[in-house]
Amino acid sequence: MAVRAVRGAVQLEQDEAGHMDEQVGALLTAIMERNELTPDDLISIWFTATPDLHSDFPAAAARKLGIVDVPLICAQELDIEGAMPRVVRVLAHIESDRPRADIAHVYLGAAAALRKDIAQ
């Protein structure tokens, strides 16, 4: 079994804890489903949030989904002028037999504009 990395992002409509839980939960669910993962396949997950998000930790959404024994960490994105606002990004380390080229990276909604080079 190989160690792989899966990327993803979602743009929030507003900085509100319930909305963050919903949107980050949808992102994690899509990553898990599209890559046919179970929580046992997860090694760790890094979350970043743009500096304009203050309402909650993105990792809290993972815990609410039942991802409770996986190391999670949150960090702040660089504050780059002109960057897309209200974005949560994910970098998940997983165990998978899939070739690297077959890993499905997930960019939901407006965040798809961040990586036009990755087929959705």
Give the confidence band of 118 by pLDDT, cuts at 50, 70, 90: low
- 7 annotated as ligand-binding: yes
Domains of the chain: 2-115 (3.30.1330.40)
What type of residue is 73? I
Give residue-wise pLDDT tens across range 15-64: 999 999 999 999 999 999 999 999 999 999 999 999 999 999 999 999 99
- 115 annotated as ligand-binding: no
pLDDT of residue 1: 86
Residue 115: which residues within 8 A CB-CB, separation 6 or more?
A: 7, 9, 105, 107
pTM comes to: 0.94
- 86 annotated as ligand-binding: no
pLDDT of residue 72: 98
Cβ atoms 74, 49 nearer than 8 A: yes
